[in-house]
Every structure is written in structure tokens, then in C-alpha cells.
Amino acid sequence: MTRKSGSASRSTIRDVALRAGVSASTVSRVLGGAYPVSSATRTRVMRAVGELDYVADARAKAVAGVGTPTLAFVLEDITGPSFAHMAHGVEREATRLGHLCLVCSTEGDVQHELDFVEMMRAQRAAAVILVGGGADTPEYRERTRRMADSLASAGSRLVLCGRPPLGPGAPVTVIEYDNEGGAYALVAHVLAQGHRRILFLGGKPDHSTALGRERGYLAAHRARGVDPDPALLLHGDFTRDSGHQLMRRALAEGLEFTAVVAATDMVAAGALTALHEAGLDVPGDVSLAGYDDIPFARDLHPALTTVHVPYQELGRLAVRTALGHTADAPAEHLLLGTHVVVRDSVRAVS
Amino acid sequence: MTRKSGSASRSTIRDVALRAGVSASTVSRVLGGAYPVSSATRTRVMRAVGELDYVADARAKAVAGVGTPTLAFVLEDITGPSFAHMAHGVEREATRLGHLCLVCSTEGDVQHELDFVEMMRAQRAAAVILVGGGADTPEYRERTRRMADSLASAGSRLVLCGRPPLGPGAPVTVIEYDNEGGAYALVAHVLAQGHRRILFLGGKPDHSTALGRERGYLAAHRARGVDPDPALLLHGDFTRDSGHQLMRRALAEGLEFTAVVAATDMVAAGALTALHEAGLDVPGDVSLAGYDDIPFARDLHPALTTVHVPYQELGRLAVRTALGHTADAPAEHLLLGTHVVVRDSVRAVS
DNA sequence: ACCGCACCGGGAACCGGTTTCCATCGTTGT
DNA sequence: ACAACGATGGAAACCGGTTCCCGGTGCGGT
């Protein structure tokens, strides 16, 4: 039995070389593979490596130019189901392509995000993927463009995933899902069931994702020739609690509506319990629809009609595109389609 | 306006030195902080840094011994709500302590896990956190102990989070939540409502978490002096679909029970829709309880009685303990408590 | 027997930083 | 006026690897 955990100090390639009675170059070569080494030497080196339980320092290899590439993933909160699915896609694809995957939650703090991106630039990450919507302000564009430039000059690429695109010419890859289109289709479906007063439980007023879905809501109304009541457009955020509160307030205020469309399945879930708490039946008394098609949507009661967003695929695509490992997505700006999945939570108005 | 994105090649400290007309050492000192540099020199250097948009290579710094420490987080699937919350806790605490956070999903593949841990050893990660239950076989202990040893000899620490502990003496930190105790309390609660035939929707037969909860189920029965019918112990996995299928089968087979305890809220969710699909009322016809207290538990209908597990705190604790940044948790083995949160899904038997 | 070539392995330069050691310079003390 | 001293900054060694360049073998060919 070999004493492997002799001391806590990690051994260097020189230790191995010394023990095997060869030079450091030789050790590097037998470990590296593609170089002729006599089998006797190889054996001695391998034995020394085994006895010392040696692993080459990845950071040193990286400096020497033969490191494992790295990719960074920045989101607001890994806890949201849709983010989690994107993260999953990113992580899978990254490791499939032999990349390490760094992750960071910003908790919505812009400064934190900035700091992290700077950090990733220092790490020489192959790509930095920013995910999740935000306010599309000039200040945002300016700041993000600066990130993109500085990352580009450091040789890595910025990917915006579900975020407002920058102007043309920015060295950035944008991958979006079609918020407006999805909401349009969903609300069209609800309208087709005869509903005319549809409450919309939106997100923050300037949040790009929320805005897109809101636009779809509006567009569907216009296409149908109905004039949406502005009082039916409520704003909160994308949490379950927001949906719950918004719905309670709407009910308390005596707002009139026969259907509710939530900007998110989470919001819909909160709204649903608020509805239940008020003694209302869904979809008997009021119809309800969500957005995202998180796995739980099926288990709400009634099963939630919603629009499916291919989050995992989105994550995968983001890393493939960023890493240039794809021929089928050379474009700098992709827009993924969505489709509504109808279940039991919206019913024709009687 | 300075031309920053001139070329794609990153600039080195020597480029900056050249441009500022000083030596590389001086640049390093200016950037490093704690060394007297004349303000004129400092200004020149800073200007050069700005013009070149220079950031020191983090890998090189790491080799020189002044790098950002890193911590790795290994789980089966980031998509599970409880895992996501742990991940969130880990990530928050890690960045709070100035660590970078690497993540890896194993998809349940042992070889993948092994490879990743080896990779982290090479990265000189400060700690590797393995999370999620598994089969507590001799082979598992052997393999994991080897990981622990080799990580320890490389100066980093292995943390087992919700995983079967190894024998004594292994250089490992174990943090568990009390599966048996939680299940015991939950099932005791259900029994106290008068239920005597309680269906248990468990996980994989040899999965440590599933096993712990099963033990709690059994122990609660014994404490009450009731003999659980072995036919009521079903095995699947921790997914929503598993709960759905198991419940359907149980119903189809005509199993007799007045309550259902699921090993997981996800499983409970699937079971709940199966119950609904069969036209059964919960809790009118049958009571239902889950485990984990994921956020959605409140929004199921009826709101799910379940046991709360402090997942986020668990993650935080894992990194604090691993990094030794705590005086209040010097122990090598922590067991976090849980508590049952009663909502509307279990009712006294009539 | 001699030349040349493959094969193999050592030395040194390099990757991009940090830090130790030392030389220089301008001041100040007596 | 001259020695000592504090403030600066450069050269070189080091961190732990990789790889280029070369020199010493042992082999076969003529």
C-alpha cells in the first residue's frame, strides 16, 4: 500500500521527474501523449505519478497555452425554473464541448454583473453568456456594448440570451425567444374562446421580456379588433408572490374580467391560488393562462394553458453559437420560436 | 475617443510597461497596490492600462500564487428545485467569500463525476461540493474516499451535501439534512389525523435520501404501534413523472389507502394530478403530503402539506464550513433539522 | 568500418504574471 | 560638504507547466 497522502503539499512536475529519475520535459511528454518515449521510461514516470498522486496544475497549463477552456454563465437567480433549464442546457453543451462552466448570480445587481464580467475577462473565458431580460435603456446599451467590446478585445465573446439586443455592429451574439409572438398566439387563443376582458399580469414596466409579452397581448387584441382596457394591464415582477398579490388586489378592487393571462407560469401559479382563495373556480368562473411551460404547469389544477419556450435548447444553442462550433447557426442574432400548449385552464366564455 | 478594440489579441503586462515607459515590475506594483510608486509613474501606467484596456491574466496570477480561489459544485441536475436552491446558497456564499464558482451536472453518471472531480483537483479548487443522495454501497464509499484523499493531498476539501457519509477518518466534511426525522414527523402528523393505510411513494430503493425518508415513515408507524403494509411502499424516482405513474398504477391496482406521502414535492405534484385525473378529491377522498417545501407547494390545489428543508442555508453552510471561514461550525459532520409545514392537503379521516 | 538516420531525452526559453534583491537618486543631518 | 537614508524602479528569479532545439545513443545500409 502506497502512502499517497503523505503531506498536504501538492507535488510538482519536478518532484515527479526527480522520483522517476528523468527530466521535467520527459514527464511532460509522457503525460502529454504525442511524443516518442521509450516504454521503460514511460513506466517509471507513470509509477512516480501514481505514487505521488500527481495531477498537472491546470492553471499553469492554461498559461502555457494548453488549458481547458472556460465559459461563464451569468443570471439573476438560478432558482427560477426557466433560468434553471437554460443553465442546464448551457452546462450540458459546455461540458460536451470540453469546457468548464463558471456560474454567477447577480441578484439583479448591475455592479455585481459588471464586476463578474471583468473577472471573466481576466479568466480569459471563451464566452460569457448573459441571460434574462432587463430594462432596455440607453444606459443599458452603452454599458453592455462596452462589455462586449472589452470582452472581444480580450478574445472572448459576449452572448445575450433573452436580453435586449444592442445596436448593429456590436461584437455580440444575441439569442432570443419570441416573446411577442408567443404572447400574441396565446392571447389570440384566449380571445378566440370569446373572452373580451382579459387581465394581464405583467412584469416590471421596463423589463424587456415583460414588455415583449405585453406587446403581444396588445397586438392580439388589435388584430381581433378589440380595444383592450388599459386598466387591465397590471405590473409586478416575475415571482409567484407578485402574481398572488396582483390577483388579490385586482379581485379586491372589483376589476371586471373573464380571463387572466400571466406573464409567467410562476405568476400564474400565484394568481391561481389567489383565485382559489377567493372561492373562484378556474376555468369555470375565470380562465387563466401562463407563459414558459415550466414542468409544474401540468400539475396545477386545472392544468395550465401556457406557451412553451425551449429554454434548454436555448442554452445549448447559446454555447454552440458562441463557441462557433456550429455551421447551422452562423447568424449573430437568432430568434427561437415558441408554441402555445393548450391544457385545461382556459374555457370558452359561456 | 480611444481605439480600444484595435486588435483581437489581449495585451500583456509587458505591452503596458512598454507603452508607459516603465518596467513590468512597476506595472505590477501599480496594479497590485501596496508598494510605493510615485504619482507621476502611477498616472502614466494607469493611462496605458486604460488605453490598452488591460486586465491581468487571472490564470497567470494564480500560478504566481495570488489568484482568485475557486470552488466547485457538483450535482445531478440543476433543474430540480431543491438542487437549484442549494446551488443558489452555494453560489451566494462563494461569491460573498470572494470565490469563483464552477458547476457541473453529472446526469447521474458516476464516471462523469469522477472525471470532474479529477479536473477540479487539477484546477486546485479550494473545495469540491458533491450534492444529492446516492446509493450507499461499499463501492461508493471506496470511490468517494479515494476522491477525498486525493483532493486532500492536493490541498482542497471534499464536502458531501446530503450524501451518505464515509467512515470515520476520511478527510471530508459532511452536511446532511435530517431525512428520517423529517419523514418521521410528517408521517406522525398524518397518522395523528387518523390515517392507518398510508401509501408511500418513494425513490430508488437504494438511494440514501429516499431510504432515510422511508425509514422515517416506518419508524413513525412503529412508534404509533401500527404495522405498515409492505404493499404500500412503492419505489420510483424523484421526478414528477414518477409520482404520476406510480399513483396511476396504485389506483389501477385497487390499492387501499386513505393518505399518500410522497418522498418529494415533485413526486407529490405528479401524484396529485393522477389523483385528480381519477376524479378523486384531495383531501376529501385522500390526503396527500410531500417533502422539500419547494415554492410551488403552496400553489398546488390543495396547498401541499410538506416538510421544509433549508436548502439554501445548507448550501451556504457547505461553503462556509468547507472554507473554514466559520467558528460556529467546526464539526466535520452537521445534521440540519427540518420541520413540517402543515397546509391543506391532509385532513382527518372521517 | 563509416556514415546517416531514427529514436529518445535533457537543457533552456517561454507563457504572463509577482516578488526579492539591488542600484540609483535626491534629501537631509551634522 | 559628505555620509547616511528613504523613496523609486529595474533586473532577475520564481510559480508550474510546455515545447523548441539540440546532442547522444543504437541501429541499419553500403
> What is the model's pLDDT at position A13?
96
CB neighbours of A185 closer than 8 A, spacing ≥ 6?
A: A216, A220, A307, A338, A339, A340
Share of chain A above pLDDT 70, in %: 96
- pLDDT tier for residue B301 given thresholds of 50, 70 and 90: very high
* Neighbour tally for B223: CB within 10 Å: 12
Greater confidence (A185 vs B133) lies with A185
Count CA within 13 A, CB hemisphere, residue A156: 23
pLDDT for B335 beyond 80: yes
> What is the model's pLDDT at position B340?
97
> Rounded to an integer, what distance in angstroms lies between the CA atom of residue A283 and that of residue B341?
29
How distant is C1' of D30 from CA of A38, in Å? Answer: 29
How distant is C1' of D30 from CA of A27, in Å? Answer: 39
> Rounded to an integer, what distance in angstroms lies between the CA atom of residue B201 and that of residue B215?
13
Strands (E), A222-296: 233-235, 259-262, 287-289
Strand D positions within 7 A of protein Cβ atoms: 7-12, 14-20
Q: Would the Cβ of B233 be found within 7 angstroms of any atom in strand C?
A: no
Q: Kindly list the residues from chain B whose CB atom is less than 8 angstroms away from the CB atom of residue A85.
A: 79
A149 → closest Cβ in B4, B63, B84? B4
SS3 for B135? strand
How distant is C1' of C18 from CA of B65, in Å? Answer: 8
Q: Nearest to residue B242, comparing CAs of B279, B280, B203?
A: B203
pLDDT for B44 beyond 90: yes
- The alpha carbon of residue B67 is apart from the nearest alpha carbon of chain A, in Å, by 10
How distant is C1' of D3 from CA of B258, in Å? Answer: 100
> What is the model's pLDDT at position B35?
83
- The alpha carbon of residue B275 is apart from the nearest alpha carbon of chain A, in Å, by 11
Mean pLDDT of A224-252: 96
Residue A329 φ then ψ, to 5°: -145, 60
> Rounded to an integer, what distance in angstroms lies between the CA atom of residue B201 and that of residue B213?
10
Share of chain B above pLDDT 70, in %: 96
Count CA within 13 A, CB hemisphere, residue B4: 21
Count Cβ atoms within 10 A of the Cβ of residue A21 and give its class: 0-12 exposed, 13-18 middle, 19 or more buried: exposed
- Between strands A259-262 and A198-202, the pairing is parallel
B103 to A103: CB separation less than 8 angstroms, yes or no: yes
pLDDT for B3 beyond 60: no
CB neighbours of B287 closer than 8 A, spacing ≥ 6?
A: B190, B193, B195, B258, B259, B260, B345, B346, B347, B349
> Rounded to an integer, what distance in angstroms lies between the CA atom of residue B95 and that of residue B229?
49
Share of chain B above pLDDT 90, in %: 85
Least confident residue range of A7-16, A171-180, B229-238, B281-290: A7-16
> What is the model's pLDDT at position A326?
54
- pLDDT tier for residue A56 given thresholds of 50, 70 and 90: very high
> What is the model's pLDDT at position A324?
80
Residue at grid coordinates 421526478: B239
Interface with A, mutate which of B9, B59, B73 (most A CBs under 10 A)? B59
Residue in chain B nearest A311 by alpha carbon: B79
pLDDT for B244 beyond 50: yes
> What is the model's pLDDT at position A8?
57
pLDDT for A73 beyond 60: yes
Closest residue to C8 (CA, C1′): A37
Greater confidence (B33 vs B329) lies with B33
> What is the model's pLDDT at position A331?
55
Average pLDDT, chain A: 92
Average pLDDT, chain B: 92
- pLDDT tier for residue B8 given thresholds of 50, 70 and 90: low
Residue at grid coordinates 443553465: A87
Radius of gyration of chain A (CA): 27
pLDDT for B10 beyond 90: no
Which one-letter DSSP state was computed for residue A319?
H
> What is the model's pLDDT at position A130?
96
> Rounded to an integer, what distance in angstroms lies between the CA atom of residue B264 and that of residue B239?
8
Judge contact between A107 and A83, C-beta under 8 A. Answer: no
Cell of B13: 503586462
Count of all residues that appear for chain B in the document = 350
Q: How many CB pairs under 8 A join A and B?
A: 175
Q: Which residues of B45-78 are buried (b: 16+ CB within 10 A; e: fewer)?
A: beebbebbbbbbbbbbbbbeeebebbbbbbbbbb
pLDDT for A325 beyond 90: no
A105 → closest Cβ in B53, B92, B300? B92
Mean pLDDT of B118-129: 96
Q: Kindly list the residues from chain B whose CB atom is less than 8 angstroms away from the CB atom of residue A88.
A: 77-79, 105
> Rounded to an integer, what distance in angstroms lies between the CA atom of residue B266 and that of residue B268?
5
> What is the model's pLDDT at position B326?
54
- The alpha carbon of residue A149 is apart from the nearest alpha carbon of chain B, in Å, by 6
> What is the model's pLDDT at position A7?
47
SS3 for B279? coil
CA A53, B67, A87: angle at the middle one, nearest 5? Answer: 85
What are the tens digits of pLDDT across the range B141-183? 999 999 999 998 888 899 999 999 998 888 999 999 999 999 9
